[in-house]
């Protein structure tokens, strides 16, 4: 497409905005790979730390690299005192995504300047953002419950385990820590989606990584994107039982209401992350006990796919994630912040790619407004 292109592509659907070697999707075969590795293998064998390294560097880390990365990340977990003071000023009923977006941008104000193109500066920001976002989410969660934030532990706790520790003040069991760890792996990157594009657009202006990640968080908050996961759980709770599913769904079909957790701009089959989250859920429910809302979800999937499957509408990543998070005891409005904690790894890999071959984003438009009008004095307007 050139600057003169006149054909509008609503939502830029399918228009390539960059060359990228980070993740790959085949929307009809239901394939997702990070740096060429299938998501199913990473979910089974990898960890969030290893995946974050892979996304940034393009290769799986050696043992020494992974240990060093885990130590470096852990060293960046604690928040500046000023930022903690700022978190205390938010209303207790604020949406945690507003808090996370503001605090991530504010973190940049407490950090050294990041010179665009400087690898060392970028590496520091990468560690700081990935490590500090869970600390922000956990600190605000505790504050709104009327509790004091818990200081992070060192590299003896994984990224996922330390986050759960900072929320509750006690170390999580292995099942909880591994479940969250896998969920973070599954959410870590997903090609040129709205939030990744937003982050790359901001970074393309040579703004800093803190501003750019904050922009990504803002885009992720929307219910058509990451904000869908908390709404899925709200819908399932409204439905309440398996018997109510069909009537509830029929009403949505009649009114052409969007059913949250279904449909995707790229996938026209069931999202591979959705399968992986179900496997994760099944393993967790087998150990921790069944959760009735899962039966409601399975029935809703059946009814929606029966009606809309032919249109390529199937469960996406947000459909089962909330059920898993709820079983971990996480509050519904923290589901999207947890998505953001994971996606930070992908966003930062994309910023790094943008940095290496930057071109300011400046799309065109098709102007459809008035032209060449004469100014009308205020007393002559009707």
Angle between helices 159-168 and 48-57 (to 10 degrees): 130
Residues 292-311 that bind ligand COA (CB under 6 A): 308, 311
Residue 319, exposed/middle/buried by CB under 10 A (0-12, 13-18, 19+)?
buried
Is-contact 147 141, C-beta < 8 A? no
CB of 366 vs ligand COA, minimal distance in Å: 19
Q: Is 236 in the site for ligand COA (CB under 6 A)?
A: no
**Candidate list 57, 98, 265, 268; residue touching ligand COA; CB under 6 A:** 265
CB of 341 vs ligand COA, minimal distance in Å: 17
- Piece of 146-154, 159-167, 257-265, 294-302 that binds ligand COA (CB under 6 A): 257-265
Closer residue to ligand COA, CB minimum distance, 27 or 80: 27
Q: Which residue is nearest to ligand COA (CB)?
A: 263
| DSSP calls for 209-246 | HHHHHHHHHHHHTSTTTTTHHHHHHHHHHHH-SGGGHH
**Candidate list 45, 115, 251, 258; residue touching ligand COA; CB under 6 A:** 258
Q: Is 371 in the site for ligand COA (CB under 6 A)?
A: no
Using CA atoms, how far residue 365 sits from 12, 109, 192, 199, in Å, is 11, 34, 20, 21
CB of 181 vs ligand COA, minimal distance in Å: 21
CA distance 378 to 382: 9
Q: Is 263 in the site for ligand COA (CB under 6 A)?
A: yes
Closer residue to ligand COA, CB minimum distance, 100 or 317: 317
Q: Is 239 in the site for ligand COA (CB under 6 A)?
A: no
Closer residue to ligand COA, CB minimum distance, 77 or 264: 264
For 300, the token pair is: 């809703």
Is-contact 27 13, C-beta < 8 A? no
**Candidate list 49, 318, 333, 353; residue touching ligand COA; CB under 6 A:** 318
What contacts 349, CB < 8 A, 6 or more positions away?
Answer: 22, 55, 56, 189
- Piece of 126-134, 140-148, 294-302, 312-320 that binds ligand COA (CB under 6 A): 312-320
Total residues interacting with ligand COA, rule: CB under 6 A: 18
CB of 225 vs ligand COA, minimal distance in Å: 6
For 54, the token pair is: 């892979």
Pairing mode, strands 37-38 and 31-34: antiparallel
Nearest to 130 by CA among 156, 99, 162: 162
- Piece of 145-153, 208-216, 288-296, 315-323 that binds ligand COA (CB under 6 A): 315-323
- Piece of 81-89, 179-187, 251-259, 291-299 that binds ligand COA (CB under 6 A): 251-259
Residue among 264, 314, 350, 352 flagged as catalytic: 264
- Piece of 118-126, 162-170, 274-282, 314-322 that binds ligand COA (CB under 6 A): 314-322
For 340, the token pair is: 């953001």
Active site residue 282: no
Active site residue 221: no
Degrees (nearest 5) of the Cα angle 128, 131, 133? 95
Strand partners, 305: none
Q: Is 182 in the site for ligand COA (CB under 6 A)?
A: no
Q: Which residues of 198-213 are buried (b: 16+ CB within 10 A; e: fewer)?
A: bbbbbbbeebbbbbbb
CA distance 333 to 161: 20
For 1, the token pair is: 């497409």
CB of 272 vs ligand COA, minimal distance in Å: 12
CB of 82 vs ligand COA, minimal distance in Å: 35
The contact mask relative to ligand COA for 208-227 (x = CB under 6 A, - = no) is ----------------xx--
Is-contact 5 364, C-beta < 8 A? yes
**Candidate list 25, 70, 192, 260; residue touching ligand COA; CB under 6 A:** 260
Neighbours of 230 (CB within 10 A): 24
The residue ranges that bind ligand COA (CB under 6 A) are 224-225, 228, 256, 258-265, 308, 311, 313, 316-318
Could you give the residue numbers annotated as active site?
A: 264, 318
């Amino acid at each position: 497409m050139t600057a003169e292109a006149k054909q509008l592509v609503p939502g830029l659907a399918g228009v390539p905005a960059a060359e990228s070697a980070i993740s790959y999707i085949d929307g009809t075969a239901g394939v997702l790979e990070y740096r060429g590795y299938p998501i199913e293998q990473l979910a089974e064998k990898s960890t969030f730390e290893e995946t974050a390294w892979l996304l940034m560097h393009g290769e799986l880390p050696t043992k020494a690299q992974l240990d060093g990365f885990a130590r470096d990340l852990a060293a960046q977990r604690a928040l500046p005192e000023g930022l903690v003071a700022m978190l205390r000023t938010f209303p207790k009923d604020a949406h945690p995504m507003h808090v996370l977006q503001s605090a991530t941008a504010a973190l940049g104000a407490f950090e050294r300047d990041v010179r665009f193109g400087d690898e060392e500066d970028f590496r520091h920001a990468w560690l700081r953002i990935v490590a500090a976002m869970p600390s922000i989410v956990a600190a605000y969660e505790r504050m709104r419950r009327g509790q004091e934030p818990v200081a992070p532990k060192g590299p003896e706790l994984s990224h996922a385990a330390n986050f759960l520790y900072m929320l509750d003040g006690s170390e999580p069991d292995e099942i909880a820590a591994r479940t969250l760890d896998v969920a973070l792996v599954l959410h870590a990157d997903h090609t040129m989606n709205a939030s990744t594009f937003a982050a790359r657009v901001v970074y393309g202006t040579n703004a800093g990584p803190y501003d750019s990640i904050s922009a990504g968080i803002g885009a992720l908050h929307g219910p058509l994107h990451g904000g869908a996961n908390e709404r899925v759980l709200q819908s399932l709770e409204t439905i309440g039982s398996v018997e109510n599913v069909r009537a509830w769904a029929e009403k949505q079909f009649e009114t052409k209401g969007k059913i949250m957790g279904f449909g995707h701009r790229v996938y026209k089959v069931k999202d591979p992350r959705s399968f992986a989250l179900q496997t994760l859920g099944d393993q967790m429910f087998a150990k921790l006990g069944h959760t009735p809302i899962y039966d409601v979800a399975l029935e809703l999937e059946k009814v929606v796919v029966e009606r809309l499957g032919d249109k390529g509408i199937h469960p996406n990543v947000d459909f089962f994630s909330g059920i898993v998070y709820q079983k971990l005891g996480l509050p519904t409005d923290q589901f999207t912040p947890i998505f953001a904690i994971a996606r930070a790894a992908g966003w930062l890999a994309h910023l790094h790619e943008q940095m290496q071959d930057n071109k300011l984003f400046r799309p065109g438009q098709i102007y459809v407004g008035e032209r060449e009008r004469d100014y009308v004095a205020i007393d002559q307007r009707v």
